[in-house]
């Protein structure tokens, strides 16, 4: 079981985020749910890169070859993921600010009519 548990956790976090996104009654809450969905990708990436007994792939205080290290490629991908996630969140929140100003509500169910 242990050999798939982290992957299942990633899938579970993703599904929880999707559920929140679909049932959300508040756009700010929906942006938060999207961040939860994205967190699933961090768990998945880091789980894919883990090696038993591995340490961080940083050799400033580690003799190269003395210990196994975890996969640095997926760690770099996770960093990219975090940066893109943060910027997209900022952009979406800016959109929510404008929606709240123009329509006076942040409930997606009340935003059905087309205006402008």
Interaction site with other proteins (CB under 8 A):
2-8, 11, 14-15, 18-19, 22-23, 47-52, 56-60, 64, 68-76, 79-80, 82-84, 87-88, 90-91, 93-95, 97-98, 101-102, 115-116
61 touches 32 (CB < 8 A): no
Min separation Cβ 31 and other proteins, Å: 13
- Give 105's contacts (C-beta < 8 A, 6+ positions apart): 99, 111
What are the backbone dihedrals phi and psi of residue 97, each rounded to the nearest 5 degrees, phi first? -55, -45
Q: Which is nearer to other proteins, 94 or 105 (CB)?
A: 94
Neighbours of 47 (CB within 10 A): 16
Rounded to the nearest whole angstrom, what is the least distance from the CB of residue 53 to other proteins in the complex? Answer: 8
């Amino acid at each position: 079981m242990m050999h798939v548990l982290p992957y299942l956790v990633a899938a579970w976090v993703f599904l929880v985020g999707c559920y929140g996104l679909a049932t959300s009654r508040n756009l700010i809450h929906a942006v938060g749910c999207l961040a939860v969905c994205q967190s699933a990708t961090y768990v998945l990436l880091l789980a894919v890169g883990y090696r038993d007994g591995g340490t961080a792939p940083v050799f400033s205080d580690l003799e190269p070859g003395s210990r196994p290290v975890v996969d640095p490629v997926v760690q770099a991908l996770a960093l990219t993921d975090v940066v893109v996630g943060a910027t997209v969140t900022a952009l979406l929140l800016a959109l929510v600010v404008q929606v709240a100003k123009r329509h006076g509500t942040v409930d997606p169910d009340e935003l059905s009519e087309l205006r402008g």
